[in-house]
C-alpha cells in the first residue's frame, strides 16, 4: 500500500483551501492510498510494447454527405418571428451593452 500520510492530505487540503476534520484527514489518507495503488497496478499491466490508443476498435464515419435541401427565403424564415429588423430576428438584449 502506498504511503499517503495524514500530513500529506493536510498539506493538499491547505493548498486547496479545504478545511477538514481529523477524521476526514485520516479517512482521505486511506482512500487516496487505495487510488494510488490502483493506478500503480494498472500501470504495471501495461508493457512498453502496447501503443496508446484512444479507442480499442477502429472507428468509421457513419455520417452521410451534406446535401443542400429545401432553403427558405428570408420572408419565409421571418414570417412567424415575433420581431424582425433588417432581415434578421430581433431579440431582447441580455447584456448591458449597446
> What CATH number has the domain bearing residue 41?
1.10.20
The answer to whether residue 29 is domain-embedded is yes
**The domain containing residue 11 runs over which residues?**
6-45
- Is 80 exceeded by the pLDDT of residue 75? yes
Please report whether residue 54 resides in a domain.
Answer: no
Structurally, the chain folds into a number of domains equal to 1
Specify if 27 maps to a domain. yes
Least confident of 3-7, 24-28, 77-81: 3-7
Secondary structure letter of residue 84 according to DSSP: E
Residue 42 pLDDT greater than 90, yes or no: no
CB atoms within 10 A of CB 28: 19
Is residue 35 within 8 Å of residue 3, measured between CB atoms?
no
H or E stretch including 7? helix 6-15
Residue 87 — very low, low, confident or very high, per pLDDT cuts 50/70/90?
very high
CA 61-51-40 angle, 5° bins:
120
CA nearest neighbour of 25 among 12, 34, 39, 38: 12
Amino acid at each position: 500500500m502506498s504511503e499517503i500520510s495524514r500530513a500529506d492530505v493536510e498539506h493538499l487540503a491547505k493548498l486547496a483551501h479545504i478545511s477538514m476534520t481529523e477524521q476526514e484527514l485520516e479517512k482521505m489518507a486511506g482512500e487516496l492510498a487505495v487510488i494510488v495503488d490502483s493506478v500503480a497496478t494498472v500501470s504495471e499491466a501495461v508493457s512498453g510494447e502496447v501503443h496508446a490508443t484512444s479507442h480499442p476498435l477502429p472507428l468509421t464515419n457513419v455520417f452521410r454527405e451534406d446535401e443542400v435541401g429545401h432553403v427558405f427565403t428570408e420572408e419565409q424564415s421571418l414570417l412567424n418571428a415575433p420581431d424582425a429588423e433588417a432581415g434578421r430576428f430581433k431579440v431582447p438584449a441580455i447584456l448591458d451593452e449597446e
